[in-house]
Structure 1
Amino acid sequence: MSAINFIGIGLALFLAFLLIQKKDKGTFDFILLAWLVLNAVLLFFYHLNFEGNTDQFVPILIVMSLIPYLISPLLFIYVSSLVQGEKFSWYAQLIHFIPFTTMVLSMWWFYWVPSEKHLIWVSNGYINMEGQLPFHIRNWSLIMAFSACMYPILCLFKILRHQTDILNEFSNLQEKTLNWMKSWIVIEFIGFWVSFLIIIAGDMDVVNILTSFKVISALIITNVFVIGYFGVRQSSIFLDSLPLNNIKREEKYKYSNLTHLETEVLINQLNEKMKREKLYRNPTLSAAQLADMMNISKHQLSQLINQKASVNFYEYINHYRVEEFKNRVKIGDADKLSLLGLALDCGFNSKSTFNYLFKKYEGVTPSQYRKQVAQ
């Protein structure tokens, strides 16, 4: 048991160290750092518990037993901080810490003020209860299980919404989709039910309790590795979406609709600007930056593109990139640069994205298109 837990503790602390060394850390990095440290503390608690070293520290044991009430919400807050960017507010997240705080204070109260009607005591590392206790105390483990099940689902909904929203924010989506987190949530959901069934099996003596917690520790370690590994590599999603002059423009017309005449004038100006200045060749071009160049709000730009071009910002910009690539293949630039080099020069930032979008728009691969042009 100790070997498994110490591997997990070492891994969590090592990943936390890498996060500390990371340059240009964002709020989301500090949240992940706290999440990793809490997992290390939880694994250390499991070690002490099965070594029989916790019974004499009951108040601390209660707090450590309730750490899962913090781990699940923190992961949700981590996702929120990534997808909300500057709009993220800690005040809005405080509600997620209420269950942990309420449970700790309640258990401390009933432990330190025992009576004939209620009693909480600890034996062999387990919190035992009897008597007339409130619902949230009597069912603290079930509430914890519900929390561990609910928060990954909330994370999934937030990520799916984010993946829709960023199509009107960015012209390149690499490292912005959080697909790695979406894949993890599916695994996490399966892992939750595996853990839940193992704990029940341990309580019913179907599986040795020590074996059940070995499996749970292994699942926690897997969780730490996946989230920590990808989390350390995750960069800020909205860092490159600021206006080029880095001044937050006051959007006093943010929620107003442009008139038909205004949209006609603006879309013509936008199309002309894109063709003349070839802004799409900037691989990090964002809706905020383009709106800043057009001297309109980002909301108005989205309205303009959605209504007049009938596409989102991502499709609008990448259509120009595909057309630029086609034109340059026709004039022979593909003989001077590789197809990938030419695609990167047109504003794409990854081979997979370029190949996917080109075939989506043209129905053939870039190499097939070049052969067609050469014939």
Structure 2
Amino acid sequence: MPGIFFGLSTLILTLILTPEERIFYVEHILIKTNLKGINLNTLPGLRGWNFLLSRIALILQTIIYLVLLIRISIKHEKVINNYFSNTERKKINWVKNLGYIAFAVSLAAIIFALLGRSYFIHHNLSLLMPSAFFTTLFFLIGYKGNIQSQISERLYESEHEMIKEGNVSSSTDDLKARLLNLFQSEKIYQLNDLRISTVCKALHTNRTYISKLINDEFRMNFNEFVNKYRVEEAKQLLRSKVNNKYTMEYIAQQAGFGSVASFSRVFKEIEGTTPGNFREKNSLKMD
């Protein structure tokens, strides 16, 4: 709506300006950004203030949408962690990071705007700064968006599905016991593409209910819960002399990780060391 308003007002004011007034506006207001000399009683002055207010509106909109973008990406990350055990190429952290970058670029754009066109007219090479900023940003948006995996699953349940949680016959303690059995005895975490929906089907329960159980009882999300078991499985494999001949790809696959990169990252986050260093230390102990 602000864009439509300022677009129409700009068009109307530009059309009613005389050729002389347009030249005056371009030279003294647009190029030199001589805001102090803007007289509201003249058409060029009105056009100048319209231009200034449109910039302010753009800045405010940019800040608001960037804040919303960052909030949505954070919310999405929480949902992803509560749905998937392997989150590679499913998270949109890059959107949040680009939001921060775009915010920084917006501040830079404000500075460039305050410097005015006259500054860049006399410093031609300085035009490389805003050009490099925006070109890099647009490239990153396109690149990251292109490699982002599409999530076909419906991550949010309807109210009707959520109400069903009240019909779950199992008590919290019973469901918790069956959940632990599913992971400790049946080792469901070894499934490479394990999702919370798979666990729900195995336990005949609701996704919202099982997610709340994991969050409340274990103080972690689904992704953290699964990775805890996978890392413990990997540690057992890495400690075994028999498995010393196997590659990290094999260890990662046996533990349920989607890739070696994911395995190494999660292992280091939990254990504070890499799988290779862990195996090396435990090999020395066995020797």
> TM-score by structure 2 length?
0.73
Instruction: Please list, as runs of the form range in 1=range in 2, the aligned pairs for 1:211-226 lying within 5 A after superposition.
Output: 211=124, 215-226=129-140
SS of 1:173's partner is coil
Q: How many residues align?
A: 267
Instruction: Please list, as runs of the form range in 1=range in 2, the aligned pairs for 1:257-276 lying within 5 A after superposition.
Output: 262-276=171-185
- Counterpart of 2:35 in structure 1 is none
**For the residues of structure 2 that align with 1:131 and 1:365, how far apart are their CA atoms?**
65
Per-residue deviation at 1:153?
A: 3.0
- Counterpart of 1:180 in structure 2 is 94
Q: Which one of the candidate residues 161, 180, 188 is aligned to 1:251?
A: 161
Letter in 2 for 1:345: Q
Q: 1:289 to 1:100 in 2, by over 3 A?
A: farther
Alpha carbons 1:106, 1:137 under 8 Å: kept: no
- Counterpart of 1:197 in structure 2 is 111
- Counterpart of 1:206 in structure 2 is 119
SS of 1:162's partner is helix
**For the residues of structure 1 that align with 2:17 and 2:240, how far apart are their CA atoms?**
89
Q: Which one of the candidate residues 67, 77, 81 is aligned to 1:163?
A: 77
Which segments of 5 or more consecutive residues in structure 1 lack a partner in the other structure? Answer: 1-97
Q: 1:258 to 1:334 in 2, by over 3 A?
A: same
- Counterpart of 1:281 in structure 2 is 190
Question: What whole-Å deviation, never above 9, does each CA across 1:113-154 have from its counterpart, x for those lacking one?
Answer: x499xxx96876969954668x87761122113323433233
Alpha carbons 2:120, 2:127 under 8 Å: kept: no
- Counterpart of 1:229 in structure 2 is 143
Which segments of 5 or more consecutive residues in structure 2 lack a partner in the other structure? Answer: 32-37
- Counterpart of 2:259 in structure 1 is 350
Per-residue deviation at 1:353?
A: 3.4
Alpha carbons 1:263, 1:308 under 8 Å: kept: no
SS of 2:163's partner is coil
Q: 1:291 to 1:106 in 2, by over 3 A?
A: farther
Question: What whole-Å deviation, never above 9, does each CA across 1:291-318 have from its counterpart, x for those lacking one?
Answer: 2332222110111112233322111111
SS of 1:172's partner is coil
Q: 1:254 to 1:103 in 2, by over 3 A?
A: farther
- Higher radius of gyration, 1 or 2: 2
Per-residue deviation at 1:242?
A: 5.6
Alpha carbons 1:253, 1:297 under 8 Å: kept: no
Q: 1:249 to 1:296 in 2, by over 3 A?
A: farther
**For the residues of structure 1 that align with 2:175 and 2:101, how far apart are their CA atoms?**
47
Question: What whole-Å deviation, never above 9, does each CA across 1:141-181 have from its counterpart, x for those lacking one?
Answer: 22113323433233223223333343222212222332333
Question: What whole-Å deviation, never above 9, does each CA across 1:217-273 have from its counterpart, x for those lacking one?
Answer: 33322222111111111112x33x469xxxx995142675979x7111111112222
Letter in 1 for 2:114: I
Over aligned residue pairs, what C-alpha RMSD do you find?
Answer: 3.9
Q: 1:102 to 1:364 in 2, by over 3 A?
A: same
Question: What whole-Å deviation, never above 9, does each CA across 1:38-70 have from its counterpart, x for those lacking one?
Answer: xxxxxxxxxxxxxxxxxxxxxxxxxxxxxxxxx
**For the residues of structure 1 that align with 2:129 and 2:272, how far apart are their CA atoms?**
49
Question: What whole-Å deviation, never above 9, does each CA across 1:60-115 have from its counterpart, x for those lacking one?
Answer: xxxxxxxxxxxxxxxxxxxxxxxxxxxxxxxxxxxxxx333333344445556x49
**For the residues of structure 1 that align with 2:171 and 2:225, how far apart are their CA atoms?**
19
Identity of aligned residues (%): 26
1:293 equivalenced with 2:202 (yes/no): yes
Alpha carbons 2:10, 2:50 under 8 Å: kept: no
Q: 1:208 to 1:346 in 2, by over 3 A?
A: same
- Counterpart of 1:142 in structure 2 is 56
Alpha carbons 1:172, 1:349 under 8 Å: kept: yes
SS of 1:140's partner is helix
